[in-house]
Amino acid sequence: LAQLEYTDRLVGETLRILRATGLYDRALVVVTADHGVSFDNGAQGRGMDAIRKAAGQVAWVPMFVKEPGQRAGRVDDRNWEHVDLLPTVADYAHVRIPWPVDGRSARQAPRERADKRFYDRPGEPVAFPGGVPAPPPQPKPHPLVGTTVGQRPTGGSARVGDLAAFRAVDPDAGGLPALVWGTVPASVRDGTLLAVAVNGRIGAVVPVVPPDAGGRRFAAFLPDDRLFRAGANRLDLYQIGPGDELRHLSIS
């Protein structure tokens, strides 16, 4: 979800630039993805085995198209398949594809069949019956995310990677130290929640995971770039106790 939020922000920046340069109305804009990977044990691959084991997670992908000159959005419930993407783009660009394609342009009449076809091998589609499953409910963020943090009791410590990146942040350079990772002492239990704050505002709450060869680890992604400012930024780490009580950790 953090990656999705960050992608959403990048798409917004792209649309703002297109509008600022006068290209938005003339442009065909497509936002999509591949099917990704599953979190299920034994189904993390990208081939047919993973699709069959975790079709509800990885068989369906996002697809957004803004046509040139389009003024209002709409939902198109046609039986879209990703093999339709190339002929659709070529159709809008008035380009003739010089080879046979499996898909069809979205500007043509929708296909009549209801099944979906997955191409594990080029030109060899495998049919999946049924339609697109309902999306899973979106988990709620931790209530501490977005809140400001004042003085808190201190106690405990943690090591954080690449602390130097917070000393000289340049948002205009296109990169931010939004990935915060490190280790905590062995006395901290698995699953202990940590709050990561930048410049006094909590940007993420993450658990401590079981130790490996590198120690007892944590990692957080901060999708809100408004947490950062040019120059030096303050990074704080807090251990969350009962009742969301915060204890400030010294970091090094």
138 lies in some domain? no
Helix, strand or coil for residue 234?
coil
Q: Are residues 6 and 83 in the same domain?
A: yes
- Global pTM exceeds 0.85: no
The phi, psi pair for 154, rounded to 5°, reads: -105, 155
The CA distance from 215 to 4, in Å, is 28
Torsion angle of the four alpha carbons 202, 206, 207, 208, in this order, in degrees rounded to the nearest 10: -80
142 lies in some domain? no
The tens place of each residue's pLDDT in the chain, 252 residues long, gives 778 888 889 999 999 999 999 999 999 999 998 877 777 766 666 666 666 666 666 767 889 999 999 988 898 888 888 899 999 999 999 999 999 998 999 999 998 887 878 777 777 887 776 655 565 677 788 999 999 998 888 889 999 998 999 999 998 887 899 999 999 998 899 999 999 999 999 999 999 998 888 788 999 999 898 999 999 999 999 999 999 999 999 999
Q: Are residues 163 and 123 in the same domain?
A: no
Q: Are residues 6 and 114 in the same domain?
A: yes
Quick one: how many helices (H) and strands (E) in the chain?
4, 11
Q: Are residues 64 and 181 in the same domain?
A: no
Residue 211: predicted pLDDT: 84
Residue 138: predicted pLDDT: 72
Residue 45: predicted pLDDT: 62
The CA distance from 50 to 138, in Å, is 23
CATH number of 191's domain = 2.60.40
* Host domain of residue 72: 2-128
Q: Are residues 189 and 108 in the same domain?
A: no
Residue 172: predicted pLDDT: 81
Q: Are residues 84 and 193 in the same domain?
A: no
Residue 212: predicted pLDDT: 83
> Number of folded domains in the chain?
2
180 lies in some domain? yes
Q: Are residues 210 and 162 in the same domain?
A: yes
How far out from the chain centre does Cα 235 lie? 23
The label of the residue with tokens 């501490």 reads 144
Give which of 33, 112, 123, 120 is closest to 79, Cα–Cα. 112
184 lies in some domain? yes
Q: Looking at beta carbons, which pairs linking 43-49 to residues 24 or more positions away fall under 8 Å?
A: 47/120, 48/118, 48/120, 48/126
141 lies in some domain? no
Residue 10: predicted pLDDT: 92
